Structure 1
Amino acid sequence: MIIFYDGYCPLCKAEMRHLQKRDKHNALTLVDIQSTAFASNYPQLDFHALNARIHGMLDDGRMITGLDVTYQAWKVVGMGWVYAPLRWPVIRVFADWGYVKFAKHRYTISYLLTGKKRSCARCVPGVSNE
């Protein structure tokens, strides 16, 4: 599974580090969409869509987004049970709504929770500097 994440987001980077530590079989490929190599390595993907929320590509080529990515990633490393309730039918609706709000304000939320600001060596035009 490939995970496309925002390397400028402190919380996103922290989650990727935690996933990487648990990925004993190297089943995940973590791709920072903010890296200079992203556009040349994945020209077919829409940066702005990927920057709006986390995306993942399953082994069969299907793209998934949001909490489906989170659940699948943690499932791959043997911890899917932690996130499984977020995919249950009734909870899913509210969890997905909350995730969309989180993704939109992730820099502010990251700062409030970690004290770390958005880390960007180069700021992308048109992307909020919350």
Structure 2
Amino acid sequence: MAFTIFYDGKCPLCVKEMQHLIRKDKENNLQFENIHAGDFSRKFPDLDINELDARIHGIDENGKLYIGLDVTHKAWSLVGVGWLYAPLRWPLLRWFADKAYLVFAKHRYKLSFWITGKKRCEDNCEIKLK
């Protein structure tokens, strides 16, 4: 079973990161679930959509829940480049990185607009699975 990432399919930046992960995931270690998909609540009735929408979440094959930058680090580690994100989990940097992530998550649509020219995807952005 793969590490499942619950991502915001209406956020252009979020979807762009998922696309990068998909390209790097040669061993199919990751599974992607758009929290805005029409069947999401049916597939995951125990998950709170508001919590998932506030911060990225992931769950591993043992049922351990990851939140925020822990998801990012775990996902990138599984595709072989976790070292890039490891400093964000170091004790001295972790607190600051987590605070910065919360600001990013809260303002991700505005940041998406500044970076991509697109604030939100109309319905959902498409990720192209392998």
Give the count of matched residue pairs: 122
Moved over 4 A (4+): none
2 CA distance for matches of 1:67 and 1:77? Answer: 16
Matched to 2:8, the amino acid is D
Q: TM-score, normalised by structure 1?
A: 0.91
- TM-score by length of structure 2 reads 0.91
The Cα offsets for residues 19-48 of structure 1, whole Å up to 9 and x where unpaired, read as 000000111000000110111100110000
Which residue, out of 95, 98, 101, partners 2:100? 98
Between the two proteins, what is the percent identity of the paired residues?
52
Question: For the residues of structure 2 that align with 1:8 and 1:120, how far apart are their CA atoms?
Answer: 7
Q: Which residue number corresponds to residue 128 of structure 2?
A: none
1:120 positional shift: 3.0
Structure 1 residue runs of 5 or longer lacking an equivalent are 123-130
Amino acid at match of 1:9: C
In the alignment, the residues of structure 1 paired with residue 120 and residue 52 of structure 2 have an alpha-carbon distance, to the nearest angstrom, of 17
Measured against aligned partners, the alpha-carbon deviations of 1:69-98 in whole angstroms (never above 9, x if no partner) come to 000000000010000000000110000000
Q: Structure 2 residue aligned with 1:60, among 43, 59, 62?
A: 62
5+ residue gaps, structure 2: 125-130
- Relative contact order: is structure 1 or structure 2 higher (C-alpha 8 Å, sep ≥ 6)? 2
